[in-house]
Structures are given as C-alpha cells and as structure tokens.
Amino acid sequence: MKVEVQRQVHARLMRIAGQVAGIQRMAHEDRYCVDILLQIAAVRAALDQVGKLMLGAHVETCVAEAFANGSAGERRKKTEELLEVFSRFGSVSKR
C-alpha cells in the first residue's frame, strides 16, 4: 500500500478500535439496546469505509499490475479475489 493510504488506514482502524471499546463500555453499563445497536451500525459503516479505501488502493496497484503484466493465471486470481471481496462485503450470498 502507498504510504498515504496506509496512514489513513491506520488512523481509521485506531478510531474503530476506540469505538469498539466504547460499545464494550455501553454494554457493561447496560445501556439502552437501541443506542448500542446504532453504535454497532456505526462501527460497521466505519469498517466498510476502510474496506473501500483499501479496495481502491488494491485495484490501483495489485490488480492494475496483474492485468498489465501478469499471466492469465494471475489475472484470473485477481478477478476471483475481487469477486470474493465483493461477496463478503455486499450481502451477495455465495451459491
């Protein structure tokens, strides 16, 4: 990953770790379920943002490199990995 992306990923993961700690505290204090649920949804959205950031970096570097200079096998592997990531993040169930 490029240094700039890596820096952003670090900062976001640090904040996510803080949010998870906050949810642990809320659960420990037996706070209202709906408030905790909305915090969980916020962490989920934050993870999706990191995911999108990394996916962009991945496509621009690794995928681009494989398609520009890689073998047919390498290109196929990158394509399969992208679909796997798409499946796991979307609600695209695997069948």
List residues near its own copies by CB under 8 A. Answer: 1, 6, 9-10, 13-14, 16-17, 20-21, 23-24, 27-28, 30, 32-34, 36-38, 40-41, 43-45, 47-52, 54-60, 62-64, 66-68, 75-76, 79, 81-93, 95
Q: Which two tokens stand for residue 82?
A: 């992208």
Q: Which of 60, 62, 58 is nearest to 86 (CA)?
A: 58
Minimum distance from residue 74 beta carbon to its own copies (Å): 11
Check if the beta carbon of residue 46 is closer than 8 Å to that of residue 12.
yes
Q: Which amino acid is at 79?
A: T
Minimum distance from residue 88 beta carbon to its own copies (Å): 4
At 38, is the secondary structure helix, strand, or coil?
Answer: helix
**Residue placing its CB nearer to its own copies in the complex, 4 or 32:** 32
